[in-house]
Structure 1
Amino acid sequence: MKLGLHVCDFTYPSGPPALADDLGRIAEAAEQADFAKLSVMDHVWQIRPVGPIENDMLEAYTTLGYLAAKTSRIELLTWVTAVSYRDPGLLAKCVSTLDVLSGGRAWLGIGAAWNDEEAAGLGLFFPPTAERFERLEETLQIFLQMCSDDDSAYDGKHYHLTRTMNVPQTLARPHPPILIGGGGEKKTLRLVAQYAQACNLFAGPELEHKLDVLRQHCDDVGRDYAEIEKTVMMPLDIGDNGEKIDDVIAECRRLAGIGVQHVHGRLDNVAAITPIELVGERLVPAVADF
């Protein structure tokens, strides 16, 4: 099993003047601790489960470009891109640029979006749910086409591109891996089976059922279920001084037993760096053989 670090809180004690330095130290420590992935949210306001919406929030792809320059091995992605915030041609260019400048470490993490409050606040495009899912599938198709040798037109229901040229091409071939966030059984998990290299689910009581649904969708579309990385998002609650690490190890062992291969989560007080170091010293090696 691998672990990933999700950085979703940018309100640190030293404030915005030191934010770049703090974030750089977090990224460097995460790589040193052998986290497999480093992610940020694709939000423009803070989300309420993390903190007040007025707290600091950074634009995702600008941030990932900065993190790419601070690291050399760790994989980078949004967890996850809101499909309606960027047209797919531009999004593919963002991910391709990140991939080239990071030496082939980019993923496309993507979902159907949900935060209508921030979208309305900043005037971002946010169509109804059914349309967002239609646009999600078209975006996936456009991304794959732009990562291929086919630069012909794309003519969909919502998007019309006259030439899908993408130069330079991504270093990751045939394309950067795709992670689709969400556990919707009729649409989201079908899209995972059809297009993605990883899913993103939550460590709740429905997890095994969701994996069964994903397996059925794979059977329906002729996809090998084993090809998809099973990823779970959960808090890495290690306690103030690491006293809860054994509890996290036990939960990771349970998740591995039902097929989960990657656990991704946030750490409290991440800017202090010590929590990252504790995970690197104790948690990462403990779960490596799960």
Structure 2
Amino acid sequence: MAGLAPRASALAGRWYPSDPSGLARDIAAWLATAAPAERTPALLLVPHAGLAYSGPVAAHAYAQLTAQRPRRIVVIGQSHRYPTGIEFYEDDPIGTPLGAVPIDAEAAGALRACLRAYDHQPDTLRLEHAVEVQFPFIRYVAPDVPVVPIVITMGSPEIWRALAEGLETTGLVDGSVVAVSTDLYHGSDLDAAHRHGEAFARLLEAGDREALEAAWGRNEAQACSHGPVLIGLHLAKAQRRDWRVLRLGTSDDIVPGGDYVVGYAAAAA
């Protein structure tokens, strides 16, 4: 049985500040640049770099949660380490410098049971930043809302499809916000980063999965986490929602003139 003591953050001091006042100050400043939503969306797309780089973009997605608190937030990230499998975290609350993020263990358990036929990778969340880097924003804008953290693995389209369908069949999408995480272009060409970001945004808003996958194949709209993006497209189509890109950016916006650049997007549906 899960205890009440939060699990310590694995990222504080590296991916975001460990000082609570500094972290809160950063998040507040980023949110101040974003337009709040009139109603809470069902889906978000968020980046997952260190918050100093991706936080100004991510804020435009998380500002959408200020209209009305959802029942829960399902966070889906793709492992950068494991080739197959899936993991649902259903243990203790997870600590951040701003306080603990509560976990919806019942919902996570229902999903685990629904996808029991698939290989489960233990402890992937402890080694994966794509999910945990979301928690400071969630704690700041929706501190009492429970979270279902999910890590899916690379190159597993069958698992991606099963998870999207499992979220529907278990009813966990009802009243929830599903946040899918990806970064965009990775490389040395800033102009290419902008082109890839604009192409990704156009295809996401069109809801055209086949065209997006074709663009990935041609290396024209890079995204590092295909699975979460495709799950987001599946759920938007099932709910008859349209994706709207709220902000694009790159690491060059924060540290200009570097040798390497990463693209970011924030979107809602």
Q: Same fold per TM (> 0.5)? A: no
TM-score when scaled to structure 1?
Answer: 0.31
Structure number with larger C-alpha Rg: 1
